[in-house]
Amino acid sequence: MSIAIRSAQFGGLLQAIACLGAAASLPAAAADWSDTSISWRYGTNFREPYVNRSDGSAQNISKNIVNLQHTSGYKYGVNWASVDLLMSDHNDPASCTNFNCTGSAHEAYVLYRNHIEWGKVFPDRQLKLPGIKDVALTLGFDWNTKNDAGYSSKKRMFVWGPTLELNVPGYMNVGLYGLNESNAPCTTFPPAVVGYPPNACYDRYSYKTHAMLSSSWAIPIPVGGLPLSYEGYLNYIAPKGSNEFGGSTRAEINWDSQIMLDVGALTGGSKGTFKLGIEYQYWRNKFGNDHNGGAGPGAFARTTMVRAEYHF
């Protein structure tokens, strides 16, 4: 991969951090409340589409992931921003020129969501629905950059649609969203592996507008007096038409959840400050790639992680 491409992708990582900082600072001046956290998680059985062993079996990848997250309430709703910095081992290489694979891929993934809540915009017209705390209009985006050999993703995705905020301990949201996604990949993989020319970058390609059914939650589950919580999200993403190389896409399921122990509260310290837990991710047809097709078993991951989280 050329020095120019690598420099651009390193710049993209810095842009990711800047995006989160900008998103987090928007509500800060007028925030009613806020929470910022940094976390680390690690697992050894991540997978990536098209990254498979020579015999066609799945190639497990180890990753360290550092996350910075900010949530805040403001006059009309809630802002949420998150950036993951994902650092793979050598099994997810940064370059594979002429079948010589070297380096380890790095990725930045940024999400931003703004929930504009009916009850805050129209306080004198509160909705009274069984089991529903409020209804919101959600607007946001996903943005990523990665320097891997096979795809070098530069995802840009706009998200919009209604969200139901359920009346449960902690919180649980369920939303139905429209997605507009595009990408402009580059590759150093040999053409026999991915089916298109190596050492090439492609013009930005827009997928078909498609839907996502999504839920996120953080619910206390005290067991034996322990301050535990069950947290996570579940996304079902509909097929998004043909990909940039003319192949079909598949429905995608991404379920990621964790059991977290509030260590601070357990040891008599500040509640909700330091948490430890176990996380599990089930990701079928990752990014819409068919795990029974050309992407192979790399498009289907079942990943167990350890997780540590500090709130400030």
pLDDT of residue 183: 97
SS3 category, 148? coil
Kindly state the DSSP code that residue 263 receives in the 8-state scheme: H
6 pLDDT more than 50: no
Chain centre distance of CA 7: 24
Q: What is the pLDDT of residue 159?
A: 98
What is the widest separation between alpha-carbon atoms in the chain? 66
Please calculate the CA angle 65-108-62 and round it to the nearest 5 degrees.
Answer: 35
Specify whether the CB–CB gap between 173 and 155 falls below 8 A. no
The CA–CA distances, whole Å, from 257 to 115, 283, 306 equal: 22, 12, 12
48 three-state secondary structure: coil
Please give the share of the chain, as a percent, with pLDDT higher than 70: 87
Encode pLDDT of 107-151 as tens digits: 999 999 999 999 999 999 988 889 999 999 999 999 999 999 989
Instruction: Say which residue the tokens 């697992």 belong to.
Output: 43
pLDDT tens-digit map of 35-90:
999 999 999 999 999 899 989 899 999 999 999 999 999 999 999 999 999 999 99
